[in-house]
Amino acid sequence: MNQIKQLVNGVLKGNRRSIAKTITLIENNPHEAQKAVSKLYPHTGKAHIIGITGPTGSGKSTLIEKLVKELRKKRKRVGIIAVDPSSPFTGGAFLGDRIRMQKLSTDKEVFIRSMATRNSPGGLARATRDAVKVLDASGKDVVIVETVGAGQSEVDIIKVAHTVVVVLAPGLGDDIQAIKAGMMEIGDIFVVNKADRENADEAVIDIETMLNMGSEKEKWRPPVIKTTATKDEGTAMLLNRINQHMKYLKKEVFDIQRRQKAETELIEAIKQKTTDSIIDELRRKGELEKLVQEILAKKTDPYSAADALLKERLKRFRTNG
Amino acid sequence: MSTKRKIRIVVAKPGLDSHDRGAKVIARAFRDAGMEVIYTGLWQTPEQIVETALQEDVDVVALSILSGAHMTLFPKITKLMKQKGLNDILVLGGGVIPDEDIPALKKIGIAEVFGPDTPTNTIIKFIKENTQKTK
Ligand SMILES: Nc1nc2c(ncn2[C@@H]2O[C@H](COP(=O)(O)OP(=O)(O)OP(=O)(O)O)[C@@H](O)[C@H]2O)c(=O)[nH]1
Ligand SMILES: [Mg+2]
């Protein structure tokens, strides 16, 4: 408990070691970390959280470095969380996003943390959301979350971020086609990076066309921007659009979005806590193992076993409801 | 509630080496051994490496150097780490390092030095054995 208090106090003062240790605790021991996150919660809600997602190699990290350079000119304090997948086989991970952000690494007002998904279902680790809270509470004005948009993970980013930037690059061809459907839904801003390459304009037209097919009722029409991150071209414009999006949110939907986020988080917390406590109990009492054996012996199947187990436990809810 | 400890390790190349093939091979071997490897690329200053170790809260810092500047760069790194209170991090040296330099490097806080021919398994075993202590 004392350790938790120390961490929390450190985070609130913006101490970098405390921030780092708290995020580690979140990753390794969510149960214990919850005490810290709860204490930090009242201090959150100030940061603008920006999700940067898109296919592997489209230039997300390079773009983030330039974006942060721009933010630093305006004296904004910035936190970055770069999420990469863990190997499903070994559990290890290669976290290489820092390679492109080295110029930021000794700026005391910029905190960068690489995170592996640790095979958490749903892609973007649950830990990410809590880590964002830590950075938010530590006094960062902007928190950027980089995720690879392949498979499921891009869907989670909208639960975390206020503004989602989808970064694509020309020449990804079929790749773009395949991911488009999912990405088109979640992007508030679209970037065609590597504009120094051929076919950047085609990619822009492509995206515009897809956006035009969307509903017209939406008040925010996602802008499409060309950037060349390596030459720092288009990044000021991108930041401009990001800020515009925040203004729009504040005017139109911020409270609805905040309410929605709070509800989603609460429901997820309830789900997690109920399943955890039920499964813990079943394990302790040996009931879980007994049923596993029965399933193996084909005396029952997992669904029937779950029904039988939960019947008694859920009775209360049914009769009340 | 299970608590999952993962070994986090930063693989860094201080100095002016012109390529990082070896370091990348090592980094991937660490990953395949189940570690979370933070890779930072070429031309890292001691300040950058130490700050990265701090922010990423790593258990291990693996330094690789070919240029021969280890006797100036390694002490700078270990000194900075001590200044920032990063005393519980295991620091390893690798690359091209003459045997006669090893005792001096160990004195300044490099836990072990591995030559270019060391099998990666040996290094991985060393890391696993020396990061067991609960932090
Ligand atoms: N030609 C060109 N190359 C770029 C541009 N932006 C980034 N790159 C290069 O594209 C490669 C990938 O860049 P990253 O920033 O690592 O891309 P990423 O999307 O973060 O990659 P992952 O994190 O692996 O998904 C690097 O070699 C960059 O130098 C650009 O605007 N033009
Ligand atoms: Mg990246």
Q: What is the pLDDT of residues A214-236, one digit of tens each?
A: 666 678 899 999 999 999 999 99
A230 in ligand 1 pocket by Cβ < 6 Å? yes
CB A169 within 8 Å of CB A58:
yes
CB B95 within 8 Å of CB B66:
yes
From the CA of A54, give the closest atom in ligand 1: 19
What's the pLDDT at A318? 61
CB B49 within 8 Å of CB B61:
yes
For the purposes of burial, counting CB atoms within 10 Å of the CB of A99, is it exposed (0-12), middle (13-18) or buried (19 or more)? middle
Q: Which CATH superfamily is domain B8-130 in?
A: Cobalamin-binding domain (3.40.50.280)
Domain ranges of chain B: 8-130
Pairwise CB contact (< 8 Å): A16 & B36:
no
pTM of the model: 0.89
What's the pLDDT at B134? 46
Min distance B99 CA to chain A CA atoms (Å): 31
Confidence of residue A153 (pLDDT cuts 50, 70, 90): low
Query: Residue A212: pLDDT above 90?
Result: no
Q: Which CATH superfamily is domain A45-252 in?
A: P-loop containing nucleotide triphosphate hydrolases (3.40.50.300)
> Which residue type occupies A301?
D
Average pLDDT, chain A: 88
Q: What is the pLDDT of residues A47-76, one digit of tens each?
A: 999 999 988 899 999 999 999 999 999 999
B31 CB within 8 Å of a chain A CB:
yes
The CA A61 to ligand 2 mean position distance, Å, reads: 4
Name the residue among B1, B8, B57 with its Cβ closest to that of A31.
B1
- Nearby residues of A167 by Cβ (< 8 Å), 6 or more positions away: A52, A53, A54, A58, A59, A60, A63, A191, A193
Q: Specify the higher pLDDT residue, B113 or A261.
A: B113
Q: Which residue of chain A is at minimal alpha-carbon distance from B47?
A: A106
Query: Residue B135: pLDDT above 90?
Result: no
Q: Which residue of chain B is at minimal alpha-carbon distance from A135?
A: B55
The CA B23 to ligand 1 mean position distance, Å, reads: 20
What's the pLDDT at B15? 80
Token duo for residue A112: 């960068």
What's the pLDDT at A150? 54
B residues 75-134 closer than 8 Å to A (CB): 84-85
Instruction: State the average pLDDT over residues A283-307.
Output: 88
Query: Residue A313: pLDDT above 80?
Result: no
**How far are the Cα atoms of A52, A58, A150, A171, B96 from residue A175, in angstroms, in the given order?**
18, 11, 10, 9, 42
Instruction: State the average pLDDT over residues B86-111.
Output: 93
Closest CA to B94 of B132, B120, B76: B120
Query: Residue A175: pLDDT above 60?
Result: no
Instruction: State the average pLDDT over residues A81-108.
Output: 93
d(CA B26, CA B35): 12
Q: What is the pLDDT of residues A243-260, one digit of tens each?
A: 999 999 988 777 787 788
Domain ranges of chain A: 45-252, 261-320
